[in-house]
Amino acid sequence: MSVEKSLLGKDTHYPTTYQPEILFPISRSLSRENYADVAGIQQGYDWWHVFELSWLNAQGIPQVAIGRLRLPATSPNLIESKSLKLYFNSLNFMRFASTEELIQTVEQDLSTAAEAPVQLSLIDANDLSVSQPQGRCLDQFSPEQLSEHPDASLLQHVGSGLLVEEQYYSNLLRSNCPVTGQPDWGTIFIRYRGEKICPASLLAYIISYRQHNGFHEQCVEQIYADIWTMHKPEELMVYAAYTRRGGLDINPCRVSNLAWLPETPVRLARQ
């Protein structure tokens, strides 16, 4: 296939005028139908980092920052990522009298789309630090059984009967965007208190998402729900730090105990 006939170089219209109507909300309700009895499935946040955030000040001079969005898991809607990218592009040539006016405008537009309060904070372009993942890495284990699609039956107890509190992480999370089919990569953190989970089986379960089509938020909620249902832990946190695509990264977190909810999202080297 020649370059001319490939997907490279296909036109995408990037707006140069303010277009809040470009935001595309997606209802969370359909994917949550099977999780109604799962404690904490709507408890937590979706944190986004917006790396292509630029606008004009009152004098018409371009400004840049990194935006951090906090969308509550209780919101009826998530916001489709490409529409969010195009929305922020529509701000590139819009003048704002102050950063407060910018923040107020963005929060109002996104809150309308999500049908819940969305918060935006601005970070200096050079001030976003990188941290190391906390917990025990699962990627050293060799699962005995693998699946090409999410399979909760892969999750196994160790069988000791002892209650433990552990945090694992894996860099092997991969799923596909249900809209574009493009792969989404991430590091996933799983913290729990309860009967010990076999780490190799937990890794096998994470790997089973490798060909799964699902939005970031939906994948995290399905992982959370399957662990909660299969293992019935006393407490559980599932957090995914996805790598950026289109100038955005998404970091959904669901917790059974608000005390386990991070104050701010982690930032990893791959992001």
- Catalytic residue IDs: 177, 184
Reading the block at residue 255, the tokens are 């917790």
Q: Residue 180 in 3-state DSSP?
A: coil
CA torsion 219→224→226→231, rounded to 10°?
A: 160
d(CA 81, CA 251): 12
Q: Contact at 8 Å (CB) between 225 and 38?
A: yes
Q: What is the dihedral of CA 143, 145, 146, 149, to 10 degrees?
A: -130
Contact 173, 212 (CB under 8 A): no
Cα 125 from Cα 111, distance rounded (Å): 24
Cα–Cα distance for residue pair 266/48, rounded to 1 Å: 11
List 70's β-bridge partners, or say none.
47, 119
Give the separation between CA 176 and CA 183, rounded to whole angstroms: 4
∠ CA 241-87-210 to the nearest 5 degrees? 30
What sign has the CA pseudo-torsion 99, 101, 104, 109? negative
